[in-house]
Chains A and B, each alone.
Chain A
């Protein structure tokens, strides 16, 4: 598939079904799209001490995120330079002062540079040192740590970290600043789902406010039946506080407002969201005002966007303090991770809110998610039907939006999705022109 064929799949108000179905496109996405965008790797709190690492895969490549002796963080290829053995097959751990390959005991420093090989004299007079195999594990050149959130870009070229994300980084600030000391820790474990759908379908849904009323009807009706008739002064259990707002109507979601940023990023619920009604915690809010000042504290507390998408792999919820990470596995298979954060210096209640929300809404046993997952997995099949090869994104389309830039719109506007697909087409084809000699 060539550049012009791919560009033809993303029109101004609709996208072609091949974007979700084609294994060929998925393979091209790994080499071009994911390698050309800044993807979330992990949180620095996962690797507190020198030698701590996590293993992770981005753009189909096995990587290690490693805490260095100097306190920095590097992202290395998880591959021995000799024969390709990963230096770790565990999810996380500590390697101590160096990495050692289990196969032939080649060793590497924490930055991935070569340390030693056995039977060293056997390599004298050979080309090993000049070959890739003599250069060590190799570290990614484009790694950025923003308020302890670690991102990496596999390919060289393209926008640098700040140019790529721009103002959507405010969503990470909003989350981190919920700690009076500005520091977050990943805690409570990660919830992992395998969903048999294309990753873009999941990402689109994060920006979709028209589905809850119909898709989540079963869960919200059940919650309403159980909660109706309760006296107004009875405190809502946290679970009810979190589930009931999913039943809000179209008008609520429309008024919550959305914003798109260049490069596919977006924020939903810029005015308010289903998270805005959580019970207040006066002592905490006083602590936040003391730490950040009146104005900044109000700004943090009053803004609880529904979702902020750091395109293409990270979705942030400031309140509850949670993120979702989208890790594509195949054209029709996606791994979704839901992580909870403890904001240092904030009350336990906020951390419990993060964990409870993730458990109620993103667990494989979630009552809310069952209908979402069913819909995604069914759409993956339904798109094969004939007579219509396109997916509609027409809602609230306006030609002026093609100018790009940051733009505020109503909360049910499909611009948030169109914006993602325009960015997809751009980063997918960014380095194809060169390859094709166009």
Chain B
């Protein structure tokens, strides 16, 4: 699988709600990060984020979604990722890819549309890829936002 195919596959697992398989794509120290300033936020700066999660917190999200008393999932949310072709970018630690995207999260009568760009930092483990960092730079990260329940 090429890195481009891997990134498309990752988005597909989310759209198909195969969250456990999605989580398995992360390296042990993998991180899912949605900075509050979007692309303007420097890594390591003391600034807040919309989400900044290691495997433990991602597991918590996934575990919660499975709980019948996750009230906000009645009705359930669905999502669709629309990706542009990933482009390899410079990174100190090797494989990094930038992918502009549109993300639609749909629930009941309401849709949330988010635009932005991913940076995937990937590692080769055996023949497979693992996500070391999935950085989600939202165009409107700092704007007032409605609830975002799944994974942009």
Docked complex: B16-74 residues within 8 A CB-CB of A: 34, 36-37, 46-52, 56-57, 59-61, 63-64, 67, 69-72, 74
Q: List residues of chain A with CB within 8 A of the CB of B70.
A: 218, 370-371
- In the assembled complex, the Cα of A335 lies from the Cα of B64 at a distance in Å of 26
Contact A364 B50 (CB under 8 A): yes
**Chain A residues bordering chain B, tally (CB within 8 A):** 42
Known interface pairs A193-B144, A239-B56; A226-B48 also in contact (CB < 8 Å)? no
Q: List residues of chain B with CB within 8 A of the CB of A367.
A: 57, 60-61, 64
Contact A374 B60 (CB under 8 A): no
A115 contacts chain B at the CB level, 8 A cutoff: no
Contact B71 A189 (CB under 8 A): no
Known interface pairs A188-B46, A193-B144, A359-B48; A374-B56 also in contact (CB < 8 Å)? no
Checking B48, B67, B142 against A221 with a beta-carbon cut-off of 8 angstroms, the contacting residue is B67
Checking A188, A217, A351, A359 against B69 with a beta-carbon cut-off of 8 angstroms, the contacting residue is A217
Q: List residues of chain B with CB within 8 A of the CB of A217.
A: 67, 69
Contact A188 B50 (CB under 8 A): no
**Chain B residues bordering chain A, tally (CB within 8 A):** 31
User: A215 — nearest CB in chain B belongs to which residue?
Assistant: B71
Contact B50 A359 (CB under 8 A): yes
A413 contacts chain B at the CB level, 8 A cutoff: no
- In the assembled complex, the Cα of A240 lies from the Cα of B53 at a distance in Å of 12
**Which residue, A195, A214, A225, has most C-beta atoms of chain B within 10 A?**
A225
- In the assembled complex, the Cα of A361 lies from the Cα of B32 at a distance in Å of 17
Contact B47 A188 (CB under 8 A): yes
Contact B146 A193 (CB under 8 A): yes
A to B CB contacts below 8 Å, 24 in the list: A187-B47, A188-B46, A189-B47, A192-B144, A195-B146, A217-B67, A218-B71, A219-B60, A221-B63, A222-B60, A222-B67, A226-B56, A226-B59, A351-B46, A359-B48, A359-B51, A364-B146, A367-B60, A367-B64, A370-B70, A370-B149, A374-B71, A374-B74, A374-B147
10 additional contacts (CB under 8 A) given A193-B146, A218-B67: A193-B144, A215-B71, A217-B67, A226-B63, A363-B50, A364-B50, A364-B148, A367-B57, A370-B147, A374-B72
